[in-house]
């Protein structure tokens, strides 16, 4: 084969910190061939983004590239001065970043940004550059590019914006594109399209791509070859099919096993079928939570005047949603961003009064007068971001004890300490942890603390709003396993809200699909996933990138 587009030899990135040196990337070497898509996968802190940043020459002090030979089509590009590096970035290496909102300048139209980039790097005049920009946008799948070119970034949706970013990265005909989590901020349905666009454009132009992501599914869809990184080192390199189907290293095997698959049947359903029972009939008849015609409208009218004159702008966030959750079961609520999942959760937990409809817990309307006490003691919530859901100034013991104190479950300090220690053990943390602060724990450990806090008020019904989407896959598997075990132990009922369909299929007994505030479909998990009736559900399921699709 010809010479590689990018060749990295012995790259190390060291941060000189106060407590000694921290090596973020440990002497890694790899090549990318022309037209090849190289996937770099790893969990947070694996050094995958750092590798991309180092290739671009964007490591800032106290970081330092300690030893390396990075060559781009035969030219050494490490250790160049800032001026020469600037000529390489954009011209010879294009970049696609995670957040399309921040990688475009909000004050310029996308056309101005594209034309500027094209003219800086290519000898074209204004009109030629504009024609080229329109062609690029058309290639990236933006409808009506000739008029959209004069729009500002905020006038595009997230997915369209990411298409613009891809056109921008390809504007100067680079030899290599580094895409760092290009689809992580997008919904599944959009994610699939973006991956296709990126792959097609690069194949057409023979551009090599370094695709950095934490999502093995994305790699499986898009990449030819892949690198698995862990703690700054390369664990395994090989073709995507080889690694996913025949992983050699322990770390890779564990990583792949931890990924819930969208095609795997619900384990409890499978077990019931194996025993010859019917899954559905075994688990009906005792509803704990009944949601009827739930609706929420937000009034976005700006001024008082607009409200008086009646020019109101009302958004229906949730529209006439009804479903029932059986005692001891898990109901999964899936949908893309803006579908009203979290608004439903906030209405069901007592944070946001509904505009219409009822939420009944054991036949008590939780929003009726006098129901506060029942609501507070029986419903709990686990939040998405374990960094924001624990008060950083409180000790873990105080955090977990708060619901007991507030609801008067335990009052004596000795009794409280005993209960907190017990809860910590149940979520598999050392009881000594109660004297520490949240920042001393990792994301997964913090989520366990949040679970312990939710259990502290002895609830029957726990709403889990994206409980694992901020966590790495291996940690996600542990947290989900813990949640299932606690469900059996305490007979808990869960409402599991997630955009991750695979997680929902694995955990839920029944599922509801939300789309623009409407419940599109609702029913037993295997009916929805096995034989979806609504077009929207089918589209969602098809869009999920999955490692099992790799031959």
Partner 1 sequence: MNDITPSAPKSRLARIIDSDIFYSYRTSPVAIVSSIVATVLILAAVFAPWIAPYDPFNPRTLNLMNGFTPPMSESFSGSFFLLGSDHQGRDVFSAILYGSRVSLMVGLSAILFAMLLGVTLGLIAGYRGGLTDTIIMRIADVQLSFPSILIALLIFGIARGIIPPNQRESMAIFVLIFSIGLSDWAQFARTVRGTTMVERQKDYVSAARIIGVKPVFILIRHILPNVLGPVLVIGTIGLALAIIAEATLSFLGVGVPPTQPSLGTLIRIGQQFLFSGEWWILFFPAITLVLLALSVNLLGDWLRDALNPRLR
**Which residues of the chain form contacts with partner 1 (CB under 8 A)?**
18, 349-351, 372-373, 376, 379-381, 383-385, 388-394, 402-403, 406-407, 425, 428-430, 432-433, 435-436, 440-441, 445, 450, 453, 457
Query: Which residues on adjacent β-strands are paired with residue 316?
Result: 297
- Sign of the C-alpha dihedral computed for residues 306, 312, 313 and 317 taken in this order: positive
In the complex, least distance from residue 413 CB atom to partner 1, rounded to whole angstroms: 17
The Cα–Cα gap between 303 and 307 comes to 7
Nearer to partner 1, 220 or 477 (CB): 477
In the complex, least distance from residue 238 CB atom to partner 1, rounded to whole angstroms: 31
CB 497 within 8 A of CB 466: yes
The Cα–Cα gap between 32 and 186 comes to 27
Nearer to partner 1, 166 or 429 (CB): 429
The Cα–Cα gap between 310 and 149 comes to 36
Q: Between the CA of residue 246 and those of 17, 550, 551, what are the distances in Å?
A: 39, 12, 11
In the complex, least distance from residue 366 CB atom to partner 1, rounded to whole angstroms: 11
In the complex, least distance from residue 184 CB atom to partner 1, rounded to whole angstroms: 21
In the complex, least distance from residue 395 CB atom to partner 1, rounded to whole angstroms: 9
The Cα–Cα gap between 484 and 479 comes to 9
| Cα 281 to the center of its chain, rounded Å | 34
Nearer to partner 1, 158 or 350 (CB): 350
The Cα–Cα gap between 232 and 23 comes to 7
Nearer to partner 1, 21 or 286 (CB): 21
Q: Between the CA of residue 155 and those of 164, 257, 537, what are the distances in Å?
A: 12, 41, 27
Closest listed residue to residue 182, CA positions, set 161, 205, 200, 206: 161
In the complex, least distance from residue 391 CB atom to partner 1, rounded to whole angstroms: 4
Name the DSSP class of 312: -
Strand (E) or helix (H) holding 328: none
In the complex, least distance from residue 103 CB atom to partner 1, rounded to whole angstroms: 20
Close Cβ partners of 83 (under 8 Å, ≥ 6 residues apart): none
| Cα 336 to the center of its chain, rounded Å | 11
The residue count of the chain comes to 551
Nearer to partner 1, 89 or 254 (CB): 254
Closest listed residue to residue 464, CA positions, set 498, 435, 436, 432: 498
Nearer to partner 1, 313 or 435 (CB): 435
In the complex, least distance from residue 62 CB atom to partner 1, rounded to whole angstroms: 10
The Cα–Cα gap between 25 and 217 comes to 24
In the complex, least distance from residue 424 CB atom to partner 1, rounded to whole angstroms: 9
The Cα–Cα gap between 135 and 450 comes to 50
Q: Between the CA of residue 13 and those of 56, 61, 202, 432, what are the distances in Å?
A: 13, 11, 28, 35
Nearer to partner 1, 394 or 490 (CB): 394
Nearer to partner 1, 210 or 366 (CB): 366
Nearer to partner 1, 255 or 470 (CB): 470
In the complex, least distance from residue 445 CB atom to partner 1, rounded to whole angstroms: 6
| Cα 127 to the center of its chain, rounded Å | 40
Burial class of residue 466 (count of CB atoms within 10 Å of its CB; 0-12, 13-18, 19+)? buried
In the complex, least distance from residue 516 CB atom to partner 1, rounded to whole angstroms: 24
Nearer to partner 1, 94 or 459 (CB): 459
CB 447 within 8 A of CB 479: yes
In the complex, least distance from residue 430 CB atom to partner 1, rounded to whole angstroms: 5
| Cα 460 to the center of its chain, rounded Å | 28
The Cα–Cα gap between 47 and 527 comes to 41
Beta-carbon neighbour count of residue 502 at 10 Å? Answer: 18
Nearer to partner 1, 55 or 452 (CB): 452
Quote the tokens at residue 398: 């105080």
Nearer to partner 1, 40 or 454 (CB): 454
Nearer to partner 1, 152 or 394 (CB): 394
In the complex, least distance from residue 457 CB atom to partner 1, rounded to whole angstroms: 6
């Amino acid at each position: 084969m010809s010479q590689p587009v990018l060749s990295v030899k012995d790259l190390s990135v060291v941060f000189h910190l106060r407590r000694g040196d921290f090596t973020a990337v440990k002497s890694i070497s790899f090549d990318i061939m022309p037209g090849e898509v190289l996937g770099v996968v790893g969990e947070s802190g694996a050094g995958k983004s750092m590798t991309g940043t180092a290739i671009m020459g964007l490591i800032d002090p106290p970081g330092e590239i300690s030893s390396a030979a990075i060559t781009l089509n035969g030219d050494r590009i490490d250790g160049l001065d800032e001026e020469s590096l600037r000529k390489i970035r954009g011209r010879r290496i294009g970049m696609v970043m995670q957040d399309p909102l921040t990688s475009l300048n909000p004050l310029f139209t996308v056309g101005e940004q594209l034309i500027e980039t094209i003219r800086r790097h290519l000898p074209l005049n204004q009109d030629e550059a504009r024609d080229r920009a329109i062609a690029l946008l058309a290639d990236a799948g933006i409808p009506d590019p000739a008029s959209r070119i004069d729009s500002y970034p905020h006038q595009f949706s997230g997915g369209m914006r990411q298409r613009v970013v891809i056109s921008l990265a390809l504007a100067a005909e680079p030899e290599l594109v580094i895409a760092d989590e290009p689809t992580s901020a997008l919904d599944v349905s959009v994610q699939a399209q973006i991956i296709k666009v990126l792959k097609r454009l690069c194949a057409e132009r023979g551009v090599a791509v370094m695709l950095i992501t934490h999502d093995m599914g994305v790699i499986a869809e898009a990449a030819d070859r892949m690198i698995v990184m862990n703690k700054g080192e390369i664990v395994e390199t090989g073709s995507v099919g080889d690694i996913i189907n025949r992983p050699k290293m322990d770390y890779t095997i564990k990583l792949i096993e931890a990924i819930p698959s969208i095609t795997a049947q619900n384990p409890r359903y499978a077990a019931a079928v194996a025993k010859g029972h019917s899954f559905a009939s075994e688990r009906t008849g005792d509803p704990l939570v009944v949601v009827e015609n739930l609706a929420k409208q937000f009034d976005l009218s700006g001024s008082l005047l607009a409200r008086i004159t009646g020019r109101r702008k009302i958004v229906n966030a949730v529209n006439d949603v009804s479903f029932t959750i059986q005692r001891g079961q898990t109901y999964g609520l899936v949908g893309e961003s803006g579908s009203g999942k979290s608004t439903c959760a906030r209405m069901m937990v007592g944070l946001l009064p509904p505009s219409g409809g009822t939420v009944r817990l054991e036949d008590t309307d939780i929003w009726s007068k006098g129901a506060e006490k029942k609501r507070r003691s029986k419903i709990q919530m686990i939040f998405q971001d374990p960094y924001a859901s624990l008060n950083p100034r409180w000790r873990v013991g105080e955090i977990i004890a708060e619901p007991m104190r507030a609801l008067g479950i335990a009052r004596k300090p000795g009794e409280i300490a005993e209960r907190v220690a017990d809860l910590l053990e149940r979520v598999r943390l050392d009881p000594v942890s109660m004297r520490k602060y949240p920042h001393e724990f990792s994301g997964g450990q913090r989520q366990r603390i949040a679970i312990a806090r939710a259990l502290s008020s002895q609830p029957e019904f726990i709403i889990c709003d994206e409980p694992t989407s901020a966590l790495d896959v291996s940690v996600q598997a542990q947290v989900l396993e813990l949640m299932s075990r606690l469900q059996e132990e305490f007979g808990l009922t869960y409402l599991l809200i997630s955009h991750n369909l695979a997680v929902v299929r694995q955990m839920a007994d029944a599922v509801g699909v939300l789309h623009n505030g409407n419940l599109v479909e609702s029913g037993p998990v295997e009916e929805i996933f096995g034989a979806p009736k609504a077009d929207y559900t089918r589209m969602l399921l098809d869009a999920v990138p999955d490692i099992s699709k790799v031959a």
